[in-house]
Amino acid sequence: MMMGMGHGGGMIEADRDGVVSAEELANHADMAFDMKDADGDEVLSKDEFMGQHGAMMSTRRAERRQARFAAMDANGDSALDYAEFMDGHKAMLAAADTDGDGRVTIWEFRIARHG
């Protein structure tokens, strides 16, 4: 198994069965947290969350990301700790299941993440 490869390509859906499972998203979020946490203090600042490409992002994209940051920042301290980050992804997965069948397809997930 070549797990962990394909960084940057957004390999969330690891087993390619067309459904994003909670486990897959949790693994992805776990990895993303480590990758984004540039200074390794186990907390994501807004800059870390926005990433190095923040300046190059289109305004709309940056706004969406900022809105996501604000939504995840449960205690409003302008930083995301691991629990907030994981909770945010959990909520995202639940919200993405638009047809309510308990399975989030990669399509549902991508649309949810985009919006």
Q: How many CB atoms lie within 10 A of CB 76?
A: 7
Q: How far is the CB of 71 from Ca ion (least distance, A)?
A: 11
Q: Which two tokens stand for residue 47?
A: 């800059």
Instruction: Bin 93: left if φ > 0, else alpha if -120 < ψ < 50, else beta.
Output: alpha
Looking at 14-22, 36-44, 52-60, 63-71, which segment touches Ca ion (CB under 5 A)? 36-44
Q: How far is CA 64 from CA 23, 70, 86, in A?
A: 25, 10, 18
Which window, 1-9, 20-28, 39-47, 63-71, contacts Ca ion (CB under 5 A)?
39-47
The answer to whether residue 37 forms part of the interface with Ca ion (CB under 5 A) is yes
With CB under 5 A as the contact rule, the residue among 14, 97, 106, 113 that binds Ca ion is 97
Binding site for Ca ion (CB under 5 A): 37, 39, 41, 43, 48, 73, 75, 77, 79, 97, 99, 101, 103
